[in-house]
Amino acid sequence: IDASYGIYLEYYDFGEDMYGNSEVTTGNVHIEGNDIDTDSESIYIYYDYVAYYMEDDATLLMGDIYVEDNDIYGDDDGIYLEYYDEEVGYEMYDDAYAELPDYVITGNTFDVTGGGMDLYTYEIPYDVYDSATFDFGGFFIDDNTFSCDDGIYLDYDDFCYGNYNNSATIIGDVTITNNRFYDLDWEAIVIYYDDIGYYMYDYSTLDVGDLVIADNAIDGAGSDGIVVAYYYVDSEDDSTVTMGNLDITGNEISNMD
């Protein structure tokens, strides 16, 4: 590890090269009641070579991740989630199944110079085929306080790269409710669906859950309050992308620059 993170959770070579009826199952992760003050990311969660080369009826089931009631300070991002390029959900086939964590992020205080919470993905899952299934999981983000550069930034970029032949991919529901955002330098809430279903073909499916942004208070931001962007939602050759409902309701937005 090259930097001084507050809490660093890494999944590396996790569910790699699985075949037959093999199975890997993990319990839930609880990051709760911590006081974190660092010069780098306060909580960094990193995935590399996860669900990588799975075949036959191999199964990976990862428990959920709870980040609750933490006081998070620092000179970078509060929570940074990185799913490394192309190497998560890579070359899955023959009915293989991978289920990654859902996130429950509640009751935290974010006072950082970077982003409050950032999600980075690029070209995952990659080359999933022959009825394999990749479940990315979802987010429940509730009752947090953000005072930082930007608040919540979720970026789904080039999702389902080259998936084909009856593969199935799932993005769970995203719920962002009852949070408070104060004196941000940039946006409060940003959700990007960028090249969703990218080069997905041959009867494959991508199901994207509902997005709910409700009852949040945004008081002061140097840019936009809430941004939801759908860029290039695609499918080819009898494949299907299904986007869930979008509900933006009951938010209070004031003092925008």
DSSP structural state of residue 161: B
Tell me which residue has tokens 């408070």.
180
pTM: 0.96
* pLDDT of 74 strictly over 60: yes
The answer, yes or no, to whether residue 236 has pLDDT greater than 90, is: no
> Is residue 99 scored above 70 in pLDDT?
yes
Dump the DSSP string for 120-159.
Answer: EE-S-SEEE-TT-EEE---EEEES-EEESSEEEEEEEEEE
Task: Please check the confidence at residue 256 and state whether its pLDDT lies above 90.
Answer: no
Q: Which of 213, 218, 241, 217 is nearest to 228 (CA)?
A: 213
> Which residues sit opposite 10 in a β-bridge?
46
The whole-number average pLDDT for the span 190-218 is 94
Question: Mean pLDDT, to the nearest integer, of 155-164?
Answer: 91
What integer is the mean pLDDT of 184-199?
92
Q: How confident is the model at residue 232 (pLDDT cuts 50, 70, 90)?
A: confident
CA 154 to chain centre: 6
Report whether 128 contacts 163 (CB < 8 A).
yes
**How many other CB atoms sit within 10 Å of the CB of residue 242?**
11
How far apart, in whole angstroms, are the C-alpha atoms of residue 53 and residue 58? 10
More confident residue, 214 or 1: 214
Query: Tokens 């299907």 map to which residue?
Result: 240
Alpha helices in the chain (DSSP H): none
CA 18/CA 256 separation, integer angstroms: 51
- Residue 104 corresponds to which tokens in the numbers above? 């429950």
Mean pLDDT of the region 125-149: 97
Which pLDDT belongs to residue 3? Answer: 60
Of 111, 179, 109, which Cα lies nearest the Cα of 141?
179
Residue 93 has pLDDT above 70, yes or no: yes
Band the pLDDT of 162: cuts 50, 70, 90. confident
For all residues of the chain together, what is the average pLDDT?
94
Q: What is the per-residue burial (b if ≥16 Cβ within 10 Å, else e) of 200-234?
A: bbeebbbebbebbbeebebbbbeeebbeeeeeebe
Comparison of pLDDT for 233 and 92, the residue scoring more: 92
Structure tokens at 183: 């004196």
